[in-house]
Amino acid sequence: MYIISREWDSLFDNTYRGVDMISRSPSWFLNAEASSRMKLRLFCFPYAGGGASIFGNWKREFPPEIKVCPVQLPGRESRALESPLNSLPDIVHSLVSEMTPFLHSPFAFFGHSMGALIAFETARKLYREHHVLPAHFFASGKAAPHYTSRKKILHRLPDDQFKDELRLIEGTPEEILDNDELMQIVMPRLRSDFAVCETYVYRPEEPLSCPITVFGGAQDHEVSIDSLRAWQEHTSSEFKLQLFEGNHFFLHQQETEVIDSMMHVLSSPKKPAVFRQDIAHVNGLG
């Protein structure tokens, strides 16, 4: 759910080498323009604290037929001059409005952790307002939206306690936590993203009629297999749960395997909608 080293490295370098890391680009999507070979857009929603750059390798790894379109939320990277949003309904409202021009061609959603929650509510709003759905929905490293568990409320903690919690989560390098200057830059967006997740209220609706594939980390202590399996309640079509070696950031630890699995799904011929509850294991998990 939280920032890992590759984005911190970029932030650190840009801050201390005098590089202007801020461009005034309000676009919600990177690489969304149509191309002659494109058959499907893959909208990718980042985890809390992350930006579109976490999907940088994906644009090179997927074939031209699948156009990787990372979502860039306000307050990070190319949109660093904007204030981050701390309400999921506000994010979804803006996303659906900005996504409208792209709804005439097939698309799929991928979201990791917080990104899966944003993608889910975006898909539901798209269906309510435009009667369209993703061709496939990928949820990664996130409990099903209705799945409740008692967790600490972190976004209102004082700075020192907030940093202590970040240390426990192990998503932020120690050298960044100890750097007051960098923490002043990134803490507002981290707090906003925590607020997005911690203030989210699930409201029941009809399940999506698109297939859902769920990815999880076998050593992810934040997200249980039961909570991943619970996503099956949100589709009336195919459901598949696949586990990868790694912790909450298996998305990067097993990047090639995750991309290969997605390409296999997106390249397969369309099948009749059937409900499945199988769990696939990769990398020797079973």
Residue 113 bears catalytic tag: yes
User: Quick one: CA dihedral 33, 131, 228, 237, positive or negative?
Assistant: negative
Buried b (16+ CB within 10 A) or exposed e, 208-236: bebbbbbbbbbebebbeeebbbbbbebbe
Q: In angstroms, rounded to a whole number, what is the distance separating the alpha carbons of residues 62 and 262?
A: 9
How far apart CA 105 and CA 102 sit, in angstroms, is 6
Q: Which of 53, 78, 113, 140 is catalytic?
A: 113
Q: Which residues of 12-50 are buried (b: 16+ CB within 10 A; e: fewer)?
A: beeeeeeeeeeeeeeebbbbbeeeeeeebbbbbbbbbbb
205 phi-psi bin (left φ>0, alpha ψ -120 to 50, beta other): beta
What is the length of the chain? 286
- Return the DSSP state at 199: T
Close Cβ partners of 131 (under 8 Å, ≥ 6 residues apart)? none
Catalytic residue positions, numbered:
113
